[in-house]
Structure 1
Amino acid sequence: MNSSFISPDDVWVLWGFIAMWAAVSIYLEQRFRWAAAVSGAVLALGGAMAFTNAGILPTESPVYDAVWTYVVPLAIPLLLFQINLRKIVRESRRLLFVFCISSVGTVIGSMIAFFLFKQQIPYLDKIGGMISASYIGGGVNFAAMAAKFQTPGEYVSSTVVADNFMMALLFFILMGIPALKWFQKQFSVSEIAAPEKNQAESYWKRNEMSLRDIALNMGTAFAIVVVSVKTAAFFQGLFPSESDSFIVRLLSGILGDQYLVLTTLTLAATFAFPRYFEKMRGTQEIGTYMIYLFFVVIGIPADLRIILINAPLLLAFVFIVAISNLLVSLAAGRIFRFRLEEILLACNASVGGPTTAAAMAIAKGWRELVAPIMLVGTFGYLIGNYVGTLLGTWFSSFV
C-alpha cells in the first residue's frame, strides 16, 4: 500500500511536478553561481529525492516508466542531430586525436576500477557501463545506458551524486594545471589571452526557434525512434540476450539494443543529409530539457540512506576513471607533443562533455579552441553508447 501524499495514479500532478522541477533546476543553474557549482542535474535529482523521502511523492508510478520508455529515447536523437562528422574531421583533427586518446584513458580506468570494486559495489557491471559511456560522451549517454542496463534507481542516483562531485573536482584540477610551472616546462603552452567580460554571454546567446523547427525536430526524432525500436526488436529475436555465449550476448547488446541502433541511425541520417540537420534550431534545447526530466525521475525512487552508503565507494570508482583519463591524456600528449591546452580540453570534453570544455576554453581565454572542442565533444555523444555497451556487457560476465 502506497503511503505517499500524492497517489501513483495521479498522472497530471506527477507530470506537473516532474516538468516544473526540471524547469526550476535549469533556472537556478543558469541564474545563481552556487547552483551552477552544484549543477542542475544534482538539483533536479536532489529535489525529487527530498520530496520522496518526505513522503510526498510515490516511489513507483506509470508516469516514471513513461519517462524511461519514451522521453529518454526521444532525447538521444535530438542531442545527436548537430553532429557533423565531416566538419569534425576537417576542422578539428588534432583535438579529435587527443580526444580519442582521452577516451582510451576512460576505458582503461573503467576496467581497473571495476576489478578493484566489483565485490564491494552492487550492480557495478551496469554502473561501469554507464560511467564509461558518460565519461566519453555525456549525460545523454549516461541516461541511455541507465535505461539499457535497467540499473536500480537508487544506484543511478548515487552514481549521479558521485559523478557530479568528481566533475567539480576534476574541473578545478584542469583549471589549475596550466598555472603550475612543472607542466609549463613539460608541455608547450600558448599565450593565454585575457577573457573578455562578455565573451561567455556572446557565445551562449539565445537561439531562435520557429514552429517549423519544433515540428521537424520532434517529427524526425519520432521517426528515427520508431525505426530503431522495430529494428532492435528484429535482431533481439535473432540473438537472444539470455544466451550462454558471450558473442551472442554481445551481438544482442549491439544489434538488438534500441539505444545503439538509435545512435547508429541518427548518425547515418546526419551523415547522409547534413544540410537538413544543420538548418534545425532548438535540438539541443529540447533534448537537454528531456534529459532534465530524466534526472528528476531517477531521483524520485532514491533512498537517502542507500545513497549515503554507496556514494563514497562510487566516488572512489569514478575518481579512478577520471584520473586515468587525465594521466593517459597527459602521457600521450607529451609523447605526441600536443599543446597543454589541447590535452586539458580533450580530457574535459570526454569526461564532462562539450559544454564544460567550451566553458573552460572561454574562461581560460583559449578562444580559437572554443568551437573545435564543441565539435569534438559532440563526437563523444556518438561513440559513448558503443563503448558503454561493450564494457557493460563484458563486465556482466564477471558478476
Structure 2
Amino acid sequence: MHSLTWLVFLGIAAYFFSEGLSNVFPKIPSILTITTIGILLAQLPFVNKLHGAHTLGLYLVFLFLAVIGAYCEISSVMELQQIGITLLLFASVAVLIHGALLIILGGLLYRDWDMIAIVSQANIGGGTTAIALAETFERNELILPAILVGTLGNALGTYLGFLVVYVL
C-alpha cells in the first residue's frame, strides 16, 4: 500500500506540474512535459524500488488499449471522405510492406517467431501493445525491450514531429 500511495502521488504531482508548466510555456504541449517528467522519475532509485508499478502499469495499459479499441470505427474514417480513405490505404500499405519484410527477413535471418511478432507489434502499435503481446506469449524477458523500442519510436516521432511543426 505504501508503494501504491507513492505511485499515485507521483503521477498526480507530475500531472499538475506539467499543467502548470504548460501555462507558463503554452507552446510546449503538456503531454510532452508529463512524458519527460515520467522518464526522469523512472531514473530515480527511490521510484525503481517501489513495488506494484508493473502490475499497476499493466492494468493501465490494458485500460488504454480498451479505450483505443472502443474508438476505432470505419464510419469515422468514411466521414473524412477522400482524405480518410487515403490515410487508411496509406497505413494499410505501410503495415503490409512492414509485415512482408519482417516475415521474409525474420524467416531468413532469425526464426524466433514470438520475438519477431513482438518486435513487429512494438513497431506498428507502440510499446503498450507490445507489452500485451509479450505477456500473452509469456515472454517476460521481452517486455522491457518491447517497451524501450516502442517508447523510443514514439518519443522520437513525437519530439521530431513537434519540432517540424514549429519549424514550418
Task: Tell whether the structures are fold-level matches, with TM greater than 0.5.
Answer: yes
Equivalence for 2:57: 283
Question: 1:344 & 1:286 partners in 2: Cα distance?
Answer: 22
Question: 1:284 & 1:326 partners in 2: Cα distance?
Answer: 26
Question: 1:386 & 1:344 partners in 2: Cα distance?
Answer: 22
> Greater Rg, structure 1 or structure 2?
1
Taking a change above 3 Å as real, the CA distance of residues 292 and 326 of structure 1, as seen in their structure-2 partners, is closer
Q: CA deviation at 1:221?
A: 0.8
Quick one: higher RCO (CA 8 Å, sep 6+), 1 or 2? 1
Equivalence for 1:371: 140
CA-to-partner distance for each residue in 1:122-151, whole Å, 9 max, x for gaps? xxxxxxxxxxxxxxxxxxxxxxxxxxxxxx
Taking a change above 3 Å as real, the CA distance of residues 324 and 228 of structure 1, as seen in their structure-2 partners, is farther
- What is the Cα-based RMSD across aligned positions, in Å? 4.0
Question: 2:104 & 2:66 partners in 1: Cα distance?
Answer: 36
Q: CA deviation at 1:230?
A: 2.7
Give the aligned residue type for 2:157.
V
Specify which structure has the higher proportion of helix: 2
Matched, 1:381 2:155: no
Equivalence for 2:110: 339
Question: 2:122 & 2:100 partners in 1: Cα distance?
Answer: 15
Equivalence for 1:225: 15
Structure 2 residues not aligned, in runs of 5+: none
Pairing partner for 2:6 from 195, 207, 216 = 216
TM-score normalised according to structure 2 size: 0.64
Contact 2:77 2:85 in 1 (8 A): no
Q: CA deviation at 1:278?
A: 4.6
Q: CA deviation at 1:381?
A: 3.1
Question: 1:382 & 1:291 partners in 2: Cα distance?
Answer: 19
TM-score normalised according to structure 1 size: 0.32
The list of structure 1 runs, each at least 4 consecutive aligned residues, that deviate by more than 4 angstroms after superposition, is 290-296, 302-305, 307-311, 327-334, 395-398
Taking a change above 3 Å as real, the CA distance of residues 331 and 396 of structure 1, as seen in their structure-2 partners, is farther
Q: How does 1:79-228 map to 2 (within 5 A)?
A: 212=2, 214-228=4-18
Structure 1 residues not aligned, in runs of 5+: 1-209, 242-255
Q: How does 1:35-50 map to 2 (within 5 A)?
A: none
Taking a change above 3 Å as real, the CA distance of residues 283 and 333 of structure 1, as seen in their structure-2 partners, is closer
Equivalence for 1:196: none
Taking a change above 3 Å as real, the CA distance of residues 257 and 383 of structure 1, as seen in their structure-2 partners, is farther
Equivalence for 1:8: none
Paired residues, number: 159
SS of the equivalent of 1:315 reads helix
